[in-house]
Amino acid sequence: MFNLRHIPAVLVAVLLTAFQLPAHAAPASVEVKSIAEREIVGVTNGKKETRRAPVDKAVPGDEIVYTTTFRNLADKPAANIVITNPVPNDSIYKGDSAAGANTVITFSVDGGKQYAAAGKLSVRTKEGKTRPAQPADYTHIRWTYKGTLGAGKSGEASFRAFIK
């Protein structure tokens, strides 16, 4: 197992490499971009402000925000848009953090083979018993866009994870 405190640059590379996301729609009609960021809290003119910055290094316990934007490049509405994100290796999904307007969000606990709503997932324990899946069990997150995305329109899907 890697000691992540000694290799933050490698961790960032792994996070961004593992974060390759398929979008299912007509070829070349939907542009997909992804970014891993951290939130930075500061005070400006006496007001608390939160901003995001790309991850340059991460250590165990850090919370990372993964955001995928998708934009319809075609001159007609795009349908059947599905964004699938793996929960990066050496990370644990933060419960209830997946978001995406006008999407149905489902999860996988088996490496992306099957998806279901969070409350409908279960995993088998080492003893062979079945228990309800917890956020730490999730391996993938899927956003299915409801309806069509208008020409030139865009959307966003995101989730948060903690570095192990």
Q: What is the mean pLDDT of residues 117-145?
A: 96
State which H helix or E strand residue 37 sits in. strand 30-44
* pLDDT for the residue 33: 96
Query: Model confidence over 54-109: pLDDT tens digits?
Result: 999 999 999 999 999 999 999 999 999 999 999 999 999 999 999 999 999 999 99
Q: What is the mean pLDDT of residues 8-18?
A: 38
Give the CATH fold of the 4-163 domain.
Immunoglobulin-like (2.60.40)
According to DSSP, residue 110 is labeled S
pLDDT classification of 19: cutoffs 50, 70, 90: very low
pLDDT classification of 28: cutoffs 50, 70, 90: low
Domain residue extents for the chain: 4-163
- Rounded Cα distance between 28 and 26, Å, is 6
Q: What is the mean pLDDT of residues 129-151?
A: 96
Mean pLDDT of the chain: 86
The size of the chain, in residues, is 164
Lowest mean pLDDT among 2-6, 23-27, 138-142: 2-6
- For residue 66, give both structure tokens: 């993964």
Give yes or no for a contact between 107 and 115, defined as CB atoms under 8 angstroms apart.
Answer: yes
The phi-psi region of residue 80 (left if phi > 0; otherwise alpha if psi is between -120 and 50; otherwise beta) is: left
* pLDDT for the residue 68: 97
Which amino acid is located at 25 in the chain? A
**11 bridge partner residues:** none
